[in-house]
Amino acid sequence: MIVTLTPNPSHDRTVTLAGHLERGAVQRATSVTSQAGGKGVNISRAAVTAGIETLAVLPAPDDDPFVLELRAAHIDCLPVPTDGGDLRVNITVTEPDGTTTKLNSPGPTATPDVLAGLADALHDRTGSADWVVLAGSLPPGAPTEWYATLVAGLADTGARIAVDTSDGPLQALVDRLEVAAPSLMKPNGHELASFTGHDGDALEADPSAAARAAAELVGRGVDAVLVTLGAHGAVLVTADGAWHGTPPPTEVVSTVGAGDSSLFGYLLADLRDLPPADRVALAVAYGSAAAGLPGTTIPTPDQVDPGRVVVQALDVTTGRG
């Protein structure tokens, strides 16, 4: 079972343009779609399509349209009541060449009572979970170190913890790895560079360099680090080695949700007890499949082909494949 936490859920609205985005111009959209989303929600959505039991924990009134939409999609969710205002709306603008522009709003303020309710909900329901995924940005009102605090607080549940976040919450987690190391971290190249002192573009383009940077986290107690590298696939680093998965040629339609899909692919492979090379292959296959779909569409298992992913072992000491 995969339990996900999305502390700052969003209505993901995707605007598809027929041409390139022009600042200051009036442009017509070819389509506009909306879907209940957020990183954790996307992972739970992927789990449902793959037949994996999941529970999505999030702050929202029980009768909120967001919650009703998830339940209509057969996504089991546990909303923690909040009166902080309407859930945020994130707008994504996609261009024909796959270029994606995102406009993310901050979301409603989370009170201490809401944060405590989310933490309690997780703790009460993770005893039977294989994975607990803490994902996405934190809402206004949440302490920057809240994810790190949750990781430490969930240590006695026996569940493995995966974290996918960025900016201040990511840095706060890294600062506390000695006391709150999750089982899995999933940064992208730029997020990894933000706390390792590397250049983000260089890491995105150089899987060996990304693997060496990720190995620093493994050395500090993280069991596995999955670094998504966009068109360059992904790197997986554990104490046993490092592997790079190269995606098949993909016509990119939208990159929104691709990282979430990659993370789910890894979790699914882990639940199947596959070896590391196959885990990175399934992660990359899910991510590339998502990139070829419009908006925040999450791929179904029949759209994912790990056999087309080329996996190579890396030497994180020398950087040679």
Specify if 86 maps to a domain.
Answer: yes
User: How many independent structural domains does the chain possess?
Assistant: 1
Specify if 319 maps to a domain.
Answer: no
Specify if 69 maps to a domain.
Answer: yes
Specify if 191 maps to a domain.
Answer: yes
> Which pLDDT score, from 0 to 100, does residue 294 have?
84
Q: How far is CA 132 from CA 43, 185, 230, 242, 252, in A?
A: 11, 12, 24, 23, 30
Estimate to the nearest angstrom the gap between the alpha carbon of 316 and the chain centroid.
24
CATH number at residue 190: 3.40.1190.20
Residues 30-76 have pLDDT tens digits of 999 888 899 999 999 999 999 999 999 999 999 999 999 999 999 99
Print pLDDT tens along the chain (321 aa).
999 999 999 998 989 999 999 999 999 999 998 888 999 999 999 999 999 999 999 999 999 999 999 999 999 999 999 876 788 899 989 888 878 898 988 888 999 999 999 999 999 888 889 999 999 999 999 999 999 999 999 988 888 999 999 999 999 999 999 998 999 999 999 999 998 888 889 899 999 999 999 999 999 999 999 999 999 999 999 999 999 999 999 888 888 889 999 999 999 999 999 999 999 999 999 999 999 988 788 999 999 999 999 999 998 864 444
90's enclosing H/E stretch is strand 88-94
> Which pLDDT score, from 0 to 100, does residue 156 have?
83
Q: Give the integer Cα–Cα distance in Å for 262 and 255.
A: 11
Q: Give the integer Cα–Cα distance in Å for 277 and 200.
A: 24
> Which pLDDT score, from 0 to 100, does residue 56 have?
97
- 196: Cβ–Cβ under 8 A, 6 or more apart, which residues? 213, 216
Alpha helices in the chain (DSSP H): 39-49, 65-72, 112-125, 146-153, 167-175, 189-196, 200-205, 207-219, 258-271, 276-291
- Of 172, 171, 173, whose CA–CA distance to 181 is shortest? 173
Q: Measured on CA atoms in the order 112, 132, 260, 11, is the torsion positive or negative? A: negative
Task: Centre a 10 Å sphere on the Cβ of residue 124 and count the other Cβ atoms it contains.
Answer: 11
> Which pLDDT score, from 0 to 100, does residue 170 have?
97
φ, ψ (nearest 5 deg) of residue 15: -110, 120
Name the burial class of residue 6, with classes exposed (0-12), middle (13-18) and buried (19+) by CB atoms within 10 angstroms of its CB.
Answer: buried
Task: Centre a 10 Å sphere on the Cβ of residue 32 and count the other Cβ atoms it contains.
Answer: 11
DSSP-based three-state secondary structure for 79? strand
Per annotation, catalytic residue among 64, 164, 206, 260? 260
Whether the pTM exceeds 0.85: the reply is yes
- Of 263, 234, 235, whose CA–CA distance to 44 is shortest? 263
> Which pLDDT score, from 0 to 100, does residue 157 have?
85
Compute the residue count for the chain.
Answer: 321
> Which pLDDT score, from 0 to 100, does residue 318 have?
43
Specify if 25 maps to a domain.
Answer: no
Specify if 24 maps to a domain.
Answer: no
Q: How much is the mean pLDDT over the chain?
A: 93
> Which pLDDT score, from 0 to 100, does residue 317 have?
66
Specify if 23 maps to a domain.
Answer: no
Let me know if 260 is a catalytic residue.
yes
Specify if 321 maps to a domain.
Answer: no
Range of the domain at 194: 2-18+30-314
